[in-house]
Amino acid sequence: MREILFDTETTGFDPFSGDRVIEIGCVEMINKVLHKDSTFHVYINPERDVPAAAVEVHGLTGDFLADKPVFTDVVDGFLDFVGDDGILVAHNAEFDMKFINFELEKAGYPVLGSDRFVDTLAIARTKYPGQPNSLDALCRRLEIDNSHRSLHGALLDAEILAEVYLELTVGRQAGLDLSLMTGAGAIDVERKSWPKRSFPVSDSERAAHDAFVRNSVENAVWLK
């Protein structure tokens, strides 16, 4: 199964009010194995200003983004990476899906179906009801090192999310399940059947045992 852990950074909260995607980061996972060398990452010129409040979150300024490609220049690369059937995993996926589909529709492309998205925030809320379930909170709870994350960044957040997602779904020890090993990594153990053996107790051994039981514990209930 191919899963794409992804994140977006934006100019704000609502694409229908003029906010745009300014960064996309994706990392590939196949059969719950993370492939950090298989990524998609791009900065995008939003063709508008970036509010100061947004810059405080991700550090991406209008000046930095001014010479970056617009969404229509990167959309084909993004769609090629996610493919036709890859599952898209995001934290608060509704937010990212809303922005990505807005950009796709604006560029004249079909939107991505909601059935392709998995929301790790929803998974975390089910597993840890009533607790903080932000990405930072989950990293603390699951003991995942995110000390290198000072600002939000789409690719970095996608890589951190991959570790969180594995913890939420299969757990850190999943790779130790030897029953899942096949091929070159498997150990072939020949199972043998051994004849059943009996070890009869001699009369002298039984007499010694009975004497020990009678004399070892005073008023033992099992002697009454």
Each residue's pLDDT tens digit, 90-143: 999 999 999 999 999 999 999 999 999 999 999 999 999 999 999 999 999 999
Distance, CA of 5 to CA of 158 (rounded, Å):
5
pLDDT in tens, 49-95: 999 999 999 999 999 999 999 999 999 999 999 999 899 999 999 99
Does the annotation flag 58 for ligand binding?
A: yes
Cβ burial, residue 218 (10 Å; 0-12/13-18/19+): exposed
pLDDT for 5 beyond 80: yes
Give yes or no for a contact between 165 and 171, defined as CB atoms under 8 angstroms apart: no
- Name the active-site residue from 35, 41, 148, 152: 152
What is the band of 207 on the pLDDT scale with cuts at 50, 70, 90? low
Domains and CATH numbers, the chain: 2-170 (3.30.420.10)
pTM of structure: 0.74
With residue 41 as reference, give the H or E element that holds it. strand 33-43
Distance, CA of 181 to CA of 76 (rounded, Å):
37
pLDDT for 172 beyond 90: no
Tokens of 121: 């925030």
Count the helix, strand and coil residues of the chain and give each as a percent rounded to the nearest 5.
45, 15, 40
Distance, CA of 28 to CA of 44 (rounded, Å):
21
pLDDT for the residue numbered 66 = 98
Q: Which residues, other chains included, contact 204 with Cβ-Cβ below 8 Å and sequence gap of 6+?
A: none
The overall longest dimension of the chain from CA atoms, in Å, is 97
Does the annotation flag 157 for ligand binding?
A: yes
- DSSP 8-state class, residue 201: P
Q: Which residues, other chains included, contact 50 with Cβ-Cβ below 8 Å and sequence gap of 6+?
A: 11, 22, 60, 61, 62, 65
pLDDT for the residue numbered 202 = 59
Nearest CA to 26 among 9, 38, 12, 15?
38
152 is catalytic: yes
Does the annotation flag 85 for ligand binding?
A: no
